[in-house]
Structure 1
Amino acid sequence: MVYSLTYRRPSHVTSSRDSLNGDEKQRSVNESIQSGSSHMSSGIPDALSFDRIISGGTCPPVTVREFMNYLKYIEYSAENLQFFLWYRDYSSRWDSLPASDKALAPEWSASAADADIYGASPVRPKRVPPQIAEVLKNTDFADAPKVTVDRADPFNTPPKAESFDDKRDLASDYGSSVGDDKTLLSSTASSHRVVTEQAFDDAGMKWKPFSNQPYRDEISRIISIYIAEGSPRELNLSSRERQSVLHALQHTTHPTAFRTIITTVEYSLRRQAHPNFIRWTICNGNRPRVIFARGLGVSLILFGFLADLLITLSHAGRGWRVLPIVGWFVGIATLVAAWKGMCVVLHGLHHRHLRPWELFSDSSEEAADEKGMSVDSFLSGTRNSFEEEPWVPRYKKRNIIRKVFDREIWIQEPALRQIQDTIFLQSVLASFVVSCVVVGIFCAVPHGNLY
């Protein structure tokens, strides 16, 4: 069974976060939730919708783990899905709290969030950095009036509070020591508090570390990992969005405090990352294999053209000119499928190539990968970089022939196989029509009688 022959795979979506305001993004997210998918017109069937993937209703290679790997290794934005999954779990845990605990952290209203983003922000003096103050000491510029910074201007540098000089140094050490595997956040229990306090200070706010609100320590870790500037998994937030969420978290740990940024994160996942992930997953071969398939398709087409040309220029009968249709047909079908990222040979087996990060994994690494999808992993503070992972140098050393004929695995997701069947059928039909037209043209040409 296939989809309509007019089916088109999802188009590549570029970032458009700056073209829509918060209300438009929220409406778009609500439409996606109500429809259950991104609509078949966009090339994504209901069986592969965002909500179905997140809820675990799909099979490999379209599961949450593959989605996370795609965002990490291809789009370099795994922090969006990590934060989204953490927020879903956090909201669930919050709903199960006793009413007495919930009362300690009131809900953050939408009007307050909108006021933070679109309202005017106070102007506050900006302190001269200590390094510059030391240079200007005992000069005429030492007593120069302090510069004021309009906090509504996102291009101004955030101010620094004088009482945090030592902590700024520690936060700087924290930022510079963040590596691919370990950070101060994971090795020092109090480091995230320092970074969180610094983030509030940069926003001109006061942090309340000893609040009796539920999950206050966890929230401070989230700030130091995803929200603070220079954090290991910093979200792509505007200055206003960052200040708005910090203002909300200054007063409450209620899930609604993340209202201003969770909409941006979810919109990015639903409207950009998800369609791109489905488009990428449809490709069943790696890049060397797809390039090889394209080259093979072009070669077969050239072979068919050359054969038809030679037969036409000879004394052979017109019936012989039909034989090269085999080269035309196979070449065009292979080229059209490869142009959409598919190898017809792999498709015939319903196989796909293993991804580079899957080739060298063993059972222990797979177990660690599954553990990496836990909520605790979202609070680890490690970066999403992968340059130092063992598979990177090993895959680079792999010769091109081995890459073309890499290991294969069966595609388990029925909806994905159905999409690939549709694309294959489209390729075959297009190839048949074009081949018949081209061969018909050659058959209509008079004999060359050159030999």
Structure 2
Amino acid sequence: MGPLPLNYRRPEYVSEEDSRQEENSADFYDKVDASLQSGPSGTSTGIPDALTFDKIINGGTCPPCTVRDFMNYLIYIEHAAENLQFHLWYRDYVKRFDAAPASEIALSPEWTQTMEEDTIAKIQKDAADKAKKVSPIAREIFRGTDFEKAPEIRVESRDPFSTPPRSSSGDSVSLSGSQATTYVSQEGDAFFAAGVKQPFTIQPFRSEINRVIATYIVDDSPRQLNLSAREQKAVVRALSYTTHPSALRTLSQNIENTLRRQAHPNFIRWTICNGNPARVTFARGLGVGTILVAMTGSIILTLSKAGRGWRALFAILWVIGIATLITAAKGMCVVLHGLHHRHVRPWELFIDDNATGIEQLCEGKRSFDSFDSCNSYEDEPWVVRYQRRFYVRKVFDRQVWIQEPVLRQIQDTIFLQSMLLALLGGGTLTAIFLAVPAGNFF
């Protein structure tokens, strides 16, 4: 398998601000629809068809580009694993709900788009009415001041990246589950705060839906999703009416868009890096040092009486230094690339030392448990052990072979691009020094 086209560019890093701006653009939903289909469009964004979001989720890739690697990236790097955990649960839930007997499905009617729009409109109206409720005494006291005007009601856009408000005032919806000891009391508090009654208990999967509310929806839940107060209240009201998957349709679409448009490109960009930060920093220093040696040697020979041909010998150092520096700027080490190896991740480094084979398997499955604890890893033993690791040892950490052929193809392309740029830059610098007359100083 040969390299990609020479004009290939790895995926750009997508920040939350970039995602907000893209979502507000007019053609955002057209882009989302296109991302749902695997096709040639994946290459234009720096992601080949073999590494699309669907291929990874469906298990069609090899390490280090599997769904488990994606989950580890979201836990340890992006700190947003709850999005993938909820997405995987929802996919499975839709399948199980559709496979349920028709008599049970009939108990949970579909949550239509019209019902959702009416619910959101009512939530906005209730918020506006609360804001306008000012007592006559207070109105008279603040007459003629800046406080006379009623507070402006800002209509929130559907932003899956917005931070959930944490206000204790009566105007905001606080679906707090921190004081509850079980998910039963948590979901009960959530329904009460949303202004709805306890749901119909004989609906199919009602207990599971209540656990979803306590795990992903309410404030301070173990895997709280980024929802605005309005979105949070609308979801709870929908789930109080039915356990049909359509009640979570909008939330699921927002989460999936976040994964596709932000987390997935960032994951591929991060996976292209074959060295840890210590190795990449070392490679950059090596590249700069090699360039400085080539420059110093070329200057010395230019000022001496040596023949011009000797200056051409430093072209080798120019090329090596520039190529090393360019690849390091993209998170790659040329030595590791020559072996098609990558460094073992810090959370993988001490697994053999701490756990048996069964314990390793259980630990790996924990992040895929839809209703496990929070995704915090600060208390894991490897964190302290890796921090105490000497810098030189980090540079030469354990390596493993890259199994995914398309990832090796991407790295081959980046290395080839770096070599071509290095040949161009090294040849130009060598020509410049050859053109300079000898100084004949010594």
Aligned partner of 2:203 among 200, 209, 213 = 213
Rounded to whole Å, the distance in 1 between the matches of 2:434 and 2:268 is: 43
Residue pair 1:25, 1:264 contacting (<8 A) in 2 also: no
Provide the residue aligned with 2:44 in structure 1: 41
Alignment of 1:298-313 (within 5 A): 298-313=288-303
Q: Secondary structure at the match of 1:324?
A: helix
Q: 2: CA distance between counterparts of 1:37 and 1:259? A: 28
Change (3 A) 1:23 1:264: farther
Q: Name the SS for the 1:217 alignment partner.
A: helix
Structure 1 residues 27, 101: closer, same or farther in 2, change over 3 A?
farther
Structure 2 SS opposite 1:75: coil
CA distance in 2, matches of 1:383, 1:73: 13
- How far the C-alpha of 1:198 sits from its partner, in A, is 1.1
Deviation at residue 373 of structure 1 after TM alignment: 5.1
1:427 aligns with 2:431: no
Q: Provide, for residues 309-360 of structure 1, a one-character-per-residue CA deviation record: whole Å limited to 9, x for no partner.
A: 0000000111111011111111001000000000000000000000000001
- The secondary structure found in structure 1 opposite 2:125 is coil
Partner Cα separation in structure 1 for residue 100 and residue 210 of structure 2: 19
**1:113-162: CA deviation from partner (whole Å, max 9, x where unpaired):** 23333564335779xxxxxxxxxxxxxxxxxxxxx9999877765749xx
Partner of 2:9: helix, strand, or coil? Answer: coil
Corresponding residue of 1:135: none
- For 2:37 and 2:337, the matched residues in 1 are separated by 34
Q: Render the CA deviation track for 1:235-263: whole Å, top value 9, x for unaligned.
A: 00111211111111010000010012111
2:203 matches 1:242: no
- Say yes or no: does 1:81 pair with 2:84: yes
1:275 is matched with which residue? 265
Provide closer, same or farther for how the CA distance between residues 149 and 197 of structure 1 changes in structure 2, counting only shifts above 3 A: farther
Give 2:371's match in structure 1, choosing from 372, 379, 383.
Answer: 379
Q: Which amino acid aligns with 2:437?
A: P
Assess if the C-alpha contact under 8 Å between 1:44 and 1:278 holds in 2. Answer: yes
Shift of 1:231: 0.7
Distance (Å, rounded) in 1 between the aligned partners of 2:151 and 2:227: 20
Equivalent position SS for 1:352: strand
1:255 aligns with 2:245: yes
Alpha-carbon distance between aligned partners in 2 of 1:246 and 1:9, rounded to the nearest angstrom: 40
Q: 1:307 to 1:296 in 2, by over 3 A?
A: same
Which residue of structure 1 aligns with residue 218 of structure 2? Answer: 228
Alignment of 1:9-48 (within 5 A): 9-15=10-16, 16=18, 18-19=20-21, 20=23, 26-36=29-39, 39-48=42-51
Q: Give 1:196's aligned residue.
A: 187
AA partner of residue 96 (structure 1): A
Q: Which runs of 5+ in 1 are unaligned?
A: 127-147, 161-166, 175-183, 185-190
Question: Which ranges in structure 2 are unaligned for 5 or more consecutive residues?
Answer: 132-149, 157-164
Contact 1:36–1:51 under 8 Å retained in 2: no
Letter in 2 for 1:5: L
Residue of structure 1 aligned with 2:286, choices 267, 278, 296: 296
Seen in structure 2, the aligned counterparts of structure 1 residues 383 and 408 have a Cα distance that, compared at 3 Å, is: same
SS of the aligned residue for 2:400 comes to: strand
Q: CA offsets per residue over residues 387-438 of structure 1, 9 Å max, x none? A: 0001001101100011000000000000000000000001111101110000
Residue range with higher mean Cα deviation, 241-250 or 365-374: 365-374
Following superposition, the deviation at residue 193 of structure 1 comes to 1.2
What residue is the counterpart of 2:62 in the other structure? 59
Query: How far, CA to CA, are the matches of 2:234 and 2:438 in structure 1?
Result: 79
SS at match of 2:37: helix
Deviation at 1:366?
A: 2.8
> Structure 2 vs 1, CA of residues 125 and 13 (structure 1 numbering), >3 Å: closer, same or farther?
closer
Would the aligned equivalents of 2:120 and 2:230 in 1 still touch at CA under 8 Å? yes
* Distance (Å, rounded) in 2 between the aligned partners of 1:37 and 1:253: 38
Structure 2 residue corresponding to 1:122, chosen from 110, 123, 126 = 126
Deviation, 1:110, is 1.5
CA change 1:100–1:112 in 2 (3 A) is same
Per-residue Cα deviation, 1:276-315 (whole angstroms, up to 9, x for no partner): 0000000000000000000000000000000100000000
State the match for 1:403 in structure 2: 394
The alpha-carbon deviation at position 24 of structure 1 amounts to 6.5
Q: Which moved more, 1:194-203 or 1:218-227?
A: 194-203
Q: Cα–Cα, structure 1 residues 37 and 116, in superposed 2: closer, same or farther, change >3 Å?
A: farther
Indicate conservation of the 8 Å contact 1:25/1:267, yes or no: no
User: How far apart in 2 are the matches of 1:101 and 1:373?
Assistant: 31
1:249·1:257 contact (CA, 8 Å) conserved in 2? yes
- What number of residue pairs does the alignment pair up? 405
Cα distance in 2 between the residues matched to 1:257 and 1:151: 27
Partner of 2:36, secondary structure, is helix
Residues 375-394 of structure 1 deviation map (CA, whole Å, 9 limit, x = unaligned): xx1112x1111000010011
What is the Cα deviation at residue 221 of structure 1? 0.3
SS of equivalent to 1:212: coil
Secondary structure (helix, strand or coil) at the match of 2:221 reads coil
Query: Which of the numbers 358, 369, 372 marks the counterpart of 2:363?
Result: 369
Distance in 2 (CA, whole Å) between partners of 1:17 and 1:427 is 30
* TM-score, normalization by structure 2: 0.86
Letter in 2 for 1:77: A
Counterpart position of 1:329? 319
